[in-house]
Structure 1
């Protein structure tokens, strides 16, 4: 059992196994990074499309949004039980 070849064989097999696991993990990591890069690129394209078509809101749209925000504030106050 003190054969040096046995220890050398076991160590080299463990090293090869570790290298295979490391390579598989690295390949998976690169694939995941590529997936996230594609998702960010697609989200950037969607955001760019939105900004191009709706770059400046009209005055009536801003007034309507302000009115909706005020209504939401009042409804939240009512829900919290605060008298206005």
Structure 2
């Protein structure tokens, strides 16, 4: 009726189909997870991001303060 070779080939084909389907579902799940992470990160970034000019001013003021401290150390003045 059926030769063993045909049965083995059919079983291998069914097994390969099952494994490929499982891997494809896992891949789609992983992509959905990464998409959610990107959306969450982008949403948090837009809420927390204030004015870039304000951050630049704070950083510039911090750098100026560090320069003053270094100049004081170089001239031997205690702070």
Q: Give the structure-2-normalised TM-score.
A: 0.69
Per the alignment, residue 45 of structure 1 pairs with 43
Q: How far, CA to CA, are the matches of 1:8 and 1:22 in structure 2?
A: 21
Q: CA RMSD, aligned part only?
A: 3.0
- Give the equivalent residue in structure 2 for 1:66: 60
Helix, strand or coil for the counterpart of 1:42?
helix
Structure 1 stretches of 4+ with a deviation exceeding 2 A read 55-59, 67-72
CA–CA distance in 1 between the matches of 2:54 and 2:39? 29
Q: 2:51, 2:38 → 1: CA distance?
A: 21
TM-score by length of 1: 0.65
Match of 2:22, SS state, is helix
| Number of corresponding residues | 68
Structure 2 gap ranges (5+): 71-79
